[in-house]
Structure 1
Amino acid sequence: MLVKAYAKINLLLDVLGTRPDGYHELVTVMQTLELHDTVVITKAREIELIVEGADLPCGRDNLAFRAADLLRRQVGYAGGASIKLIKRIPLAAGLAGGSADAAAVLCGLNSLWGLGMRMGKLLDLGAVIGSDVPFCLQGGTALVRGRGERVDPLPGLPSLGVVLAKPCFGVSTAEVYHRYDDIENPLHPDSQGMLQSVRGGDVSGLVACLGNALEQVTSSMHPEIEHIKSILAATGALGVLMSGSGPTVFGLFDNETAARQAAGRLKNGNFGVWVTNFYDPRS
């Protein structure tokens, strides 16, 4: 069985405070991208994981392995699965690559093992594995709240082109949130304006409301973020923003052709570049 695991970006991300459970209360608008990993699953006696295209652990430190193990224990399945991840989504990039892999494994095994588990139950399991997994299980465009467990679908957006620019370093999500908690007057993006624009299919309004409360933190740690944003903006991007806790910066374009033309002018930057577009698996 072959399942695609799609990357995401945050068109808007706001942090409302710290929850009693220690997580942060979030409001974010997420968008699935066509960029994806490929997950190949076959039946086996035990759960085994192979990763191609990236240096990643193949045991319990990998979200895909943990998803398979959790699902098997939840339903008492006697067998296992051989899982091969073919990685294309850059690592530690704020694009939910690991969460997308875990979501793909849950969906794939649900089918392969003939479990017939409904989406609601898969979402509950996904929330145990990671905050972005519930969104990755559904995909498209969505308002995501809580620590990621509350996913409300939004109308699909036009297939805008996207250029992803990731510097050669990663960031610690935990450290970014810790530093955010120390900010006296944090900036908050216009979540209501973003929701109104998305629901109305207003791309110019969407671009005007792009915002990420964590960007001020990651940019203070790594000034390269602002430099990459300025370079992307100079290529004619409709709008630019950092995704998640970073460090990847994305630029939005009218279509994928325009995005590829812009990416061709970024070859000499000290960062990796990927070109993709908005994708809606619901359509």
Structure 2
Amino acid sequence: MTHFEKAPAKINLSLDVLRKRNDGYHDVEMIMTTVDLADRIELNTLQEDRIEVSLWSRYVPNDERNLAYKAAKAFKTKYNISKGVHIKIEKVIPVSAGLGGGSTDAAAVLRGLNQLWNVNATIAELAALGGTIGSDIPFCVYGSTGIARGFGEIIETLPSPPPFWVVLAKPDIGVSSKTIFQKVNVDELIHPNTNAIIESLYEKDFAKLCANIGNSLESITVSLHPEVQRIKEKMVQAGAAGVLMSGSGPTVYGLVEQQSKAQRIYNSMRGFCQDVYLVRLIG
């Protein structure tokens, strides 16, 4: 049996770090939406009780360190599945980019195995299982648009944003979320106006959304990687209405209403850094 699953990237419309918890994690509040830049997951049942992962990437392991592998293992354990699975990942989303590439692959595995093996778990159950593996996985299980709270495991769905184009630009570096969070001092952070962003989604107000997007981690990543700030400035100069770093970075996105303008910004960024994408919202 074979099952295919799409694993779309996410961008953060907001990322706020509220406090450090006693367990060492941070309580966060993040509004995210999915975009049409996606990995492709192929799942094939194996009669032998083992998990195999195949992909071509210099930067992503294909063993038990891979989040998709961990998701399959957690799923098999949770639902007492004795069959095995071969997971083929076609990577399109750049790695360590702040776009949730590993998390969305793991989420796609959870959704896909649920269908492949007719387990009939609910989305909420799959999201809770994903939360035991990584903080972005619960949102990626749901997809669309939503706010994640706690360490990322509490998900509330939100209306989709008004339609717009997204230009993504990633410098030729990778950023570790763990490294960035280790440098967080909550008292020194700039906190985005989360309520105003939620209002803009309900009102379908593009200008209000662009005026309020914000990321508490951006200043930390920029201090370590100044090229992120240079990409932001270049994208603002090119005319994007809302410009922000996604996740812990280093990818910067620009929000643009008109396709022709988005194409011009995409072309100008192509001369500035290597990994540039022009995508639509699917959230």
Q: Provide the TM-score with structure 1 as the length reference.
A: 0.95
Whether 1:153 and 2:162 are equivalent positions in the alignment is: no
Whether 1:251 and 2:254 are equivalent positions in the alignment is: yes
Alignment check: 8 A CA contact 2:165 2:280 kept: yes
Residue correspondences, number: 279
The aligned residue for residue 29 of structure 2 is 27
- Cα deviation, residue 159, structure 1: 2.7
Whether 1:79 and 2:91 are equivalent positions in the alignment is: no
Write the distance in 2 (CA, Å) between the matches of 1:102 and 1:49: 12
Match of 2:143 among 121, 133, 139: 139
Write the distance in 2 (CA, Å) between the matches of 1:236 and 1:89: 25
The aligned residue for residue 94 of structure 1 is 98
The aligned residue for residue 40 of structure 2 is 38
Q: Structure 1 segments of 4 or more deviating over 6 A?
A: none
Write the distance in 1 (CA, Å) between the matches of 2:14 and 2:168: 16
Write the distance in 2 (CA, Å) between the matches of 1:97 and 1:38: 11
- Cα deviation, residue 55, structure 1: 4.0
3-state SS of paired residue (1:263): helix
User: Alpha carbons of 1:54 and 1:255: their partners in 2 closer, same or farther (altered >3 Å)?
Assistant: farther
- Cα deviation, residue 23, structure 1: 0.9
Q: Which amino acid aligns with 1:88?
A: V
Q: Deviations over 1:66-121 (max 9, x none)?
A: 10011011111111111100000000000000000000000100111111111221
Q: Deviations over 1:119-150 (max 9, x none)?
A: 22111101011101110011111111111111
Per mean C-alpha deviation after superposition, the further-off stretch among 6-15 and 184-193 is 184-193
Write the distance in 2 (CA, Å) between the matches of 1:158 and 1:255: 12
Whether 1:180 and 2:184 are equivalent positions in the alignment is: yes
Q: Which runs of 5+ in 2 are unaligned?
A: none
Whether 1:269 and 2:272 are equivalent positions in the alignment is: yes
3-state SS of paired residue (1:68): helix
3-state SS of paired residue (1:171): coil
Whether 1:223 and 2:226 are equivalent positions in the alignment is: yes
- Cα deviation, residue 42, structure 1: 1.1
The aligned residue for residue 123 of structure 2 is 119
3-state SS of paired residue (1:265): helix
- Cα deviation, residue 260, structure 1: 2.4
Q: Which amino acid aligns with 1:217?
A: I
Alignment check: 8 A CA contact 1:162 1:256 kept: no
The aligned residue for residue 63 of structure 2 is 59
After superposition, the CA RMSD in angstroms is 1.3
Write the distance in 1 (CA, Å) between the matches of 2:92 and 2:260: 20
Q: Provide the TM-score with structure 2 as the length reference.
A: 0.95
Alignment check: 8 A CA contact 1:54 1:87 kept: no
Whether 1:170 and 2:194 are equivalent positions in the alignment is: no
The aligned residue for residue 192 of structure 1 is 195
Percent identical residues: 41
Write the distance in 1 (CA, Å) between the matches of 2:115 and 2:205: 37
Q: Which runs of 5+ in 1 are unaligned?
A: none
Write the distance in 1 (CA, Å) between the matches of 2:256 and 2:234: 14
